[in-house]
Chains A and B, each alone.
Chain A
Amino acid sequence: GENVEQHPSTLSVQEGDSAVIKCTYSDSASNYFPWYKQELGKGPQLIIDIRSNVGEKKDQRIAVTLNKTAKHFSLHITETQPEDSAVYFCAASKVVGYIPTFGRGTSLIVHP
């Protein structure tokens, strides 16, 4: 089955800096890669996703890049703000019969 590795487990940055979280996956058939944000005391919420036919996708301060050959994808957050502090999960899945495999999560701390 699919295996998703996520790094780092903890990331501490100053407000205004950029943050990058990286994930690798094992199944070359995976073609959908979502990112979820989990705020304290809440369930995860989708923030951005990318399909395998696209190399990069942006939404305001967040972007995701995908390298199918190397089987890795990354989340980029620019101009970080304290409200970006949360746990972020990457996931990988096949679109057909969608069952995502999640990474172990990254705790992002943005210091004011």
Chain B
Amino acid sequence: DADVTQTPRNRITKTGKRIMLECSQTKGHDRMYWYRQDPGLGLQLIYYSFDVKDINKGEISDGYSVSRQAQAKFSLSLESAIPNQTALYFCATSLTRAGVYEQFFGPGTRLTVL
């Protein structure tokens, strides 16, 4: 089984709808991240969480919110989806440990907002 899972893998929705993307991990990592990938723009950080009670905005948090329900679960919500939020979304995890900085990415969720 994959260590970092994302659901759904694909989603098509309409403008104005509320959407939730979910991420679960079995790696026992304390840090979790949500990224957005657009063609030619790389990976842009939306939100990150260093533990269950810690939530931080990334560089493009407007229009998004998150919830860290447990150490293993981190959800991303679009309260009112708009077409320019059409993108590939990745969840990632990492471990707080000196000398260890690798991020582990999920398989991604492709979101289309019509």
Contacts and interface: CB of A to CB of B under 8 A. Distances in A.
A104 B40 contact: yes
Interface residues of A, number: 23
B74 to A, nearest CB: 15
Contacts, number: 48
B29 to A, nearest CB: 12
A34 B43 contact: no
A42 B102 contact: no
Given A99-B45, A104-B42, A43 B105 contact: yes
B90 interface: yes
A32 to B, nearest CB: 6
Given A93-B101, A95-B101, A99-B48, A43 B106 contact: yes
B103 A100 contact: yes
Instruction: Give the dominant DSSP class at A's interface.
Output: loop
A52 to B, nearest CB: 13
Contacts of A42: 107-108
B101 A98 contact: yes
A69 B106 CA distance: 35
B102 A34 contact: yes
Contacts of A14: none
Contacts of B102: 34, 46, 49
Nearest to B58: A99
Interface in B58-114: 58-59, 90, 92, 94, 101-103, 105-108
Interface string A45-61: 11001000000000000
B105 A105 contact: no
B41 to A, nearest CB: 6
B43 A102 contact: yes
A103 B59 CA distance: 14
Interface of A: 1, 6, 9, 32, 34, 36, 41-46, 49, 89, 93, 95, 98-100, 102-105
Given A34-B102, A99-B58, 9 more contacts: A1-B59, A9-B40, A43-B4, A43-B92, A46-B102, A49-B102, A99-B45, A103-B42, A104-B42
